[in-house]
């Protein structure tokens, strides 16, 4: 066995090179068809939210609508932007797509099964630091967005790429802090090991605050509403994607939806037992002599869990508005990161006490503290209102200051509380109006 696999729960000792090729091809095909179905599902579900029908013409229930849409996108004019950095402009969307597909390589979709007589886990590969690989690949994928915005040599794509970079830095920090508690609980960064550690109890029960932080950062990492600031159509057209068309734009589009599946699979793997069916389904299966954690059935369980998170993505898009940029950054730096740090400190104290006292059962204290801290987080998010007073003070300060709309050499509209100074033309208009009134009075 390869030494890298000696510290992981999955057994890859029987895998051959062609088995790895089959698994890699399956990942690519699975993600592409999942994206195609997700596009249809998103349009249908959003249509239901808006009292519409959605796609219903091409194929049964409109299931075939995504295929002509994809074909139309590929057949569109593929223009090359004049003045762009040609190599970087071409490579940027490919980087985003490749990194998105690579992240799934370490995600376990099921237990060990027999494929063509070879016993192999439903996972391409694993390592003792698999989660570090996922975080690294996600960070590298951000270079595609930054390079795409910079290489276009255009203002709006550059704005979008800068927003995307700051968004990734802010929310990946909070996400990483939430994942540290998972590594402490499972005593490993191997994805198969994390799934095995949830054999008796899912991490969402014992580490609920970490899940809440991870859930919010999922939307920030994927640039989805309400955190789609890098692609805000009303502000910067399409952000880094603005100057792309046809296949180059399709790479970005594909990468965005594949990332939705990646973070959904991570949420299932880290917090909801991965492919494991859970205690309730395991108990019900035992009543009829069926083990839902063996064979190919766990893969179906895993896919169902993933699609529940995809439905949450679409639900949020259909119901929430886009955050302002200052609100978005305030949530990350003043809300998520401090919450993740406090919860990490609590988990460290519990695990430190367990190391000193081996007979200490940390399960129930962790569940109680987890529930209490999660309740505090939710109450704080609902009742806090720290914007009204500072906003009123800011408006009062602006009213006391003289505003010059041409101070920087070009006209700037006033902010709330600011008023434009009287125009020098106002006196001339008043004098002209007075003279006109006087002449009319004389004529009468």
* Ordered DSSP codes for 101-144: HHGGGG---EEEEEETTEEEEESS---TTHHHHHHHHHHHHHHH
User: Which of 75, 47, 76, 78 minimizes the C-alpha distance to 61?
Assistant: 47
Query: Does residue 416 lie in a domain region?
Result: no
Report the pLDDT value the prediction gives residue 1, as an integer from 0 to 100: 45
Query: CA 309, CA 267: separation in Å to the nearest integer?
Result: 8
Residue carrying structure tokens 């009287």: 422
Query: Does residue 123 lie in a domain region?
Result: yes
* Angle (deg, nearest 10), helices 155-186 and 337-356: 20
The structure tokens listed for 336 are: 């998520």
Query: CA 312, CA 307: separation in Å to the nearest integer?
Result: 9
Please tell me the total count of domains within the chain: 1
- What's the domain range around 184? 3-360
User: Which of 304, 251, 299 minimizes the C-alpha distance to 101?
Assistant: 251
Query: Does residue 431 lie in a domain region?
Result: no
Query: Does residue 365 lie in a domain region?
Result: no
Nearby residues of 414 by Cβ (< 8 Å), 6 or more positions away: 403, 405, 420
From first to last of its 444 residues, the chain has per-residue pLDDT tens of 444 444 677 778 888 889 999 999 999 999 999 999 999 999 999 999 989 988 888 888 888 888 888 888 888 888 777 778 888 888 999 999 999 999 999 999 989 898 888 888 999 988 889 999 999 998 898 888 899 888 888 888 888 888 888 888 888 899 999 999 999 988 889 999 999 999 888 999 999 999 999 999 999 888 888 888 888 877 887 888 888 888 888 888 899 899 999 999 999 999 999 899 888 888 888 888 888 888 899 999 999 999 999 999 999 999 988 888 888 888 889 889 999 999 999 999 988 888 888 888 888 888 888 889 889 888 887 777 555 556 666 566 656 666 565 555 556 666 655 666 666 665 566 566 666 666 666 666
Query: Does residue 439 lie in a domain region?
Result: no
* Angle (deg, nearest 10), helices 155-186 and 130-151: 180
- Contact status, residue 414 vs residue 403, Cβ threshold 8 Å: yes
Query: Does residue 331 lie in a domain region?
Result: yes
Rg (CA), the chain: 28
Nearby residues of 315 by Cβ (< 8 Å), 6 or more positions away: 45
Query: Does residue 424 lie in a domain region?
Result: no
Query: Does residue 230 lie in a domain region?
Result: yes
């Amino acid at each position: 066995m390869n030494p890298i696999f000696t510290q992981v729960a999955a057994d890859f000792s029987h895998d051959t090179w062609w088995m790895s090729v089959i698994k890699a091809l399956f990942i690519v095909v699975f993600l592409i068809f999942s994206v195609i179905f997700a596009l249809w599902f998103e349009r249908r579900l959003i249509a239901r939210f808006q009292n519409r029908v959605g796609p219903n013409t091409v194929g049964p229930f409109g299931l075939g609508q995504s295929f002509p849409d994809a074909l139309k996108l590929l057949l569109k004019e593929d223009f090359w932007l004049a003045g762009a950095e040609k190599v970087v402009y071409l490579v940027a969307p490919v980087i985003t797509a490749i990194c998105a597909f690579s992240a799934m390589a370490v995600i376990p979709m099921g237990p060990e099964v027999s494929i063509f007589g070879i016993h192999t886990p439903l996972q391409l590969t694993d390592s003792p630091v698999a989660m570090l690989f996922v975080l690294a690949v996600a960070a590298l994928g951000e270079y595609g967005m930054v390079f795409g915005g910079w290489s276009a040599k255009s203002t709006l794509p550059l704005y979008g790429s800068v927003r995307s970079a700051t968004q990734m830095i802010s929310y990946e920090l909070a996400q990483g802090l939430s994942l540290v508690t998972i590594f402490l609980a499972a005593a490993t960064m191997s994805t198969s090991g994390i799934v095995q550690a949830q054999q008796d109890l899912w991490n969402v029960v014992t580490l609920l605050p970490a899940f809440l932080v991870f859930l919010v950062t999922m939307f920030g990492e994927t640039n989805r509403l309400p955190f789609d600031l890098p692609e805000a159509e009303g502000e910067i057209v399409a952000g880094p994607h603005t100057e792309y068309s046809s296949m180059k734009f399709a790479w970005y589009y594909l990468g965005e939806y594949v990332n939705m599946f990646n973070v959904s699979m991570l949420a299932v793997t880290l917090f909801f037992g991965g492919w494991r069916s859970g205690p309730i389904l395991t108990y019900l299966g035992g009543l009829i002599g069926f083990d839902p954690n063996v064979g190919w059935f766990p893969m179906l369980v895993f896919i169902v869990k993933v699609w529940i998170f995809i439905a949450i993505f679409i639900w949020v898009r259909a119901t929430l508005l886009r955050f302002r940029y200052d609100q978005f950054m305030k949530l990350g730096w003043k809300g998520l990161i401090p919450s993740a740090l406090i919860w990490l400190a609590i988990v460290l104290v519990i695990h430190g006490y367990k190391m000193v006292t081996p007979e200490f059962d940390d399960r129930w204290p962790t569940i109680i503290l987890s529930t209490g801290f999660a309740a505090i987080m939710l109450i704080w998010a609902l009742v806090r209102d720290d914007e009204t007073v500072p906003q009123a003070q800011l408006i009062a300060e602006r009213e006391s200051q003289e505003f010059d709309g041409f101070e920087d050499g070009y006209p700037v509209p006033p902010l709330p509380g600011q008023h434009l100074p009287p125009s020098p033309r106002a006196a001339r208009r008043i004098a002209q109006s007075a003279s006109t009134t006087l002449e009319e009075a004389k004529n009468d």
